[in-house]
Amino acid sequence: MLLLKKEQVVAFDEMMRKSFEERMVNHLRKHFAGQTAHMPEEQLRQRIRQEIATAQQHGITNECEVAAYISIVFSLSPNKPGNQLPWVRDILETAEPPAVKVNRLLHHAEVHTTLQKEGLTE
């Protein structure tokens, strides 16, 4: 049986966190180039960390779900945290499972984007 010391687990967790953050920076720079072009590297990283913390506070801890959450809120609100959008906050605060929250956020984001394209919302 493999036994890990607490220090090893902490170091591994930190390595995984940094790896995920780096992948999210690359993802956002690639898929949201217009929104991230003006953002200095550290500002983008800080925003990613902030959104990771928000996701975790609301039970969203699976890496794929966290990545989806960050992408959704970033697409809707590149300049302010997602939890400052009332409907995002309302969904996050439900007692639903994390995957359901992310799916509801995705659905609402799609509706919002469609309405925006049709000029029916900001």
> Percent of the chain having pLDDT more than 90?
64
- Residues 63-83 as b or e (16 or more Cβ within 10 Å = b): eebbbbbbbbbbbbebeebbb
Look at residue 76 and tell me whether its pLDDT is greater than 70: yes
Residue 121: what pLDDT? 67
Residue 40 per-residue DSSP state: -
In angstroms, the CA 27 to CA 21 distance is 10
Rounded average pLDDT over 92-118: 91
In angstroms, the CA 74 to CA 90 distance is 17
Give a yes or no: residue 111 inside a domain: yes
Note whether 64 and 74 are within 8 A (CB).
Answer: no
Give a yes or no: residue 65 inside a domain: yes
Rounded average pLDDT over 42-64: 96
- Domain span including residue 69: 12-117
Residue 5: what pLDDT? 85
Total domain count for the chain? 1
Residue 122: what pLDDT? 60
Look at residue 119 and tell me whether its pLDDT is greater than 90: no
Give a yes or no: residue 7 inside a domain: no
User: Which amino acid appears at position 19 of this protein?
Assistant: S
Give a yes or no: residue 6 inside a domain: no
Give a yes or no: residue 103 inside a domain: yes
Rounded average pLDDT over 17-31: 96
